[in-house]
Amino acid sequence: MTDQSTDSPIEKARSPFSEAWEMFRGNYAAMAGLGVLILIVVGAVFGPILYPTDPFDMVWAPFSPPGQDGFLFGTDYLGRDLLAQILNGGRVTLIIGLSAAILTIIIGVTVGALAGFYGGIIEEFLMRITEFFQVLPTLLFSMVIVALFGASLPMITLAIGLVSWTAVARITRAEFLRVRELEYVLASRASGASNMALMFGVILPNALPPIIVQSALMVGSAILFEAGLSFLGLTDPNITSWGQIIGSNRQYILESSFTVTIRGLAIFTTVLAISLVGDGLNDALNPKLRKR
């Protein structure tokens, strides 16, 4: 269905979206990542409905190996079904990853846009704040936030978002510095656009591609971050997530490694898939790479 140029003599201008999709589709690694990602998301969304075992229920003897006694992934040190845990934990992990990435974008784009657009003293001030957040060890800082304000789901999300927005802010600022000097921005300013309209209506849409790529990668790093936090026990004890399962089964890794490895592989696969998709997006949205 891609032969729109053959039936009409005039080649229709294609939307940037379809062009990017064409480029993305040609990238096998990115398509494989997208496929795996869709599989994981479907599993996390519909898994707990199709497999309604309570992840906190003691269903069998502890340390039952995978595949035996009717438990696909076996049971953990309290005899809880690990398949139910991984399906329910995937939900939490993906929600945290996604909402932390959204929070990161909101903070980062706002700071970067203000700094890049206004320049001068506002830029200096905002970029010094960004650098302040950049020199703090991220995991340590978020551990402090979670430990001080309680380990609830919103607080973990806030902690992850608060320590990882600096990269988005710097990229947004760099793009704004580049785009604000272009002619069409001058043209809209001449036709009376306000600063706000210029910032978010004219410059931001044109600065978006690198921000989209960065935020796709942000979801992956947020998932890793959440895994690290909950591995250390800084998580809501009433919610199961992948890192938490690994952390609570950590003492038994030598006797029954399957309690830890399958979860670790799940995190690894998810983050790898997200990274591949982000890489593919980078290739697809970067016009310099397109006509090769």
CA–CA separation, 127 and 129 (whole Å): 5
Instruction: Considering only the stretches 80-88, 140-148, 185-193, 255-263, report the one whose residues sit in contact with another protein under the rule CB under 8 A.
Output: 140-148
Report, in Å, the least distance between residue 60 CB and another protein.
28
Instruction: Considering only the stretches 40-48, 70-78, 139-147, 266-274, report the one whose residues sit in contact with another protein under the rule CB under 8 A.
Output: 139-147
Q: Is 231 in the site for another protein (CB under 8 A)?
A: yes
Instruction: Residue 266: name the closest of 89, 75, 139 by CA.
Output: 89
For the chain, give the DSSP string: ---HHHHSSSPPPPPHHHHHHHHHHT-HHHHHHHHHHHHHHHHHHHHHHHS---TTSB-S-TTPPTTSTT-TT-B-TT-BBHHHHHHHHHHHHHHHHHHHHHHHHHHHHHHHHHHHHH-HHHHHHHHHHHHHHHHS-HHHHHHHHHHHH---HHHHHHHHHHHH-HHHHHHHHHHHHHHTTSHHHHHHHHTT--HHHIIIIIIHHHHHHHHHHHHHHHHHHHHHHHHHHHHTT-S-TTS--HHHHHHHTGGGTTT-THHHHHHHHHHHHHHHHHHHHHHHHHHHH-HHHH--
Q: Is 174 in the site for another protein (CB under 8 A)?
A: yes
Identity of the residue, 79 or 264, whose beta carbon is nearer to another protein in the bound complex: 264
Choice from 137, 196, 254, 288 touching another protein (CB under 8 A): 137
Report, in Å, the least distance between residue 169 CB and another protein.
8
Q: Is 147 in the site for another protein (CB under 8 A)?
A: yes
Q: Is 136 in the site for another protein (CB under 8 A)?
A: yes
**Size of the residue set binding another protein (CB under 8 A):** 26
Identity of the residue, 28 or 184, whose beta carbon is nearer to another protein in the bound complex: 184
Q: Is 249 in the site for another protein (CB under 8 A)?
A: no
Q: Is 182 in the site for another protein (CB under 8 A)?
A: no
Q: Is 178 in the site for another protein (CB under 8 A)?
A: yes
Choice from 138, 249, 259, 275 touching another protein (CB under 8 A): 138
Choice from 64, 99, 164, 235 touching another protein (CB under 8 A): 164
Q: Is 152 in the site for another protein (CB under 8 A)?
A: no
Which chain residues interact with another protein by CB under 8 A?
134-141, 143-144, 147-148, 164, 166-167, 170-171, 174, 177-178, 181, 214, 228, 231-232, 250
